[in-house]
Structure 1
Amino acid sequence: MTVEDRVIRIIAEQAMIEPSDVALTDTMQDLGIDSMGLVECIFALEEEFEIEVPFNANEPEKSDFDISSVQTVVAGVEGLIARQKA
């Protein structure tokens, strides 16, 4: 299972939909994920990939982690994994 597949599975679980219903271009809002759901997603991603996501739920716009779409979340997780291995 790829990083992308795993991220989509986590996001889909939080949105209570099937992974096949998640498009890379979807935003968290598109999927019905609110700020609490987003925090749950971040925790799940950290646990799944053993990474630390630089995200401040109180000031998401100031975070170094782009949550604007599923695609940017996948890219962010891939970047964090790569940095951790370096």
Structure 2
Amino acid sequence: MSDAVKDKVIQIIAEQAVLEPSDVKMDSTLESLGIDSLGLVESIFAIEEAFDIQVPFNANEPSESDFDISSVAAIVAAVEGLVKEQA
């Protein structure tokens, strides 16, 4: 796992949750961090912008998406996969 990707994703999630990055753990869920559906969408946009990628996420049907948002670790892994595909 690339520390640069991990650190940036954690920073984005922390900003949405109004927390310090050190408060965001890899096994945290977005729900446990207090991020609602709007915060999730804003996080996705921020991730897309930060990494210049397209995230396959449908905000209307999150369970239908190929982008795993079950935990911070899952989001980091998904972003890493998308960054690798783009390279």
TM-score (norm 1): 0.97
Q: What letter corresponds to residue 15 of structure 1 in structure 2?
A: A
Cα RMSD of the aligned pairs, angstroms, is: 0.7
The match for 2:72 is 70
Q: Of 12, 37, 40, which residue of structure 2 is paired with 1:38?
A: 40
Q: Of 2, 5, 16, which residue of structure 1 is paired with 2:4?
A: 2
Identical aligned residues as a percent: 65
TM-score (norm 2): 0.96
For structure 1, list consecutive stretches of 5 or more residues without a partner in the other structure: none
Structure 1 consecutive aligned stretches of length 4 or more whose deviation exceeds 4 Å? none
Number of aligned residue pairs: 85
Separation in 2, partners of 1:9, 1:53 = 18
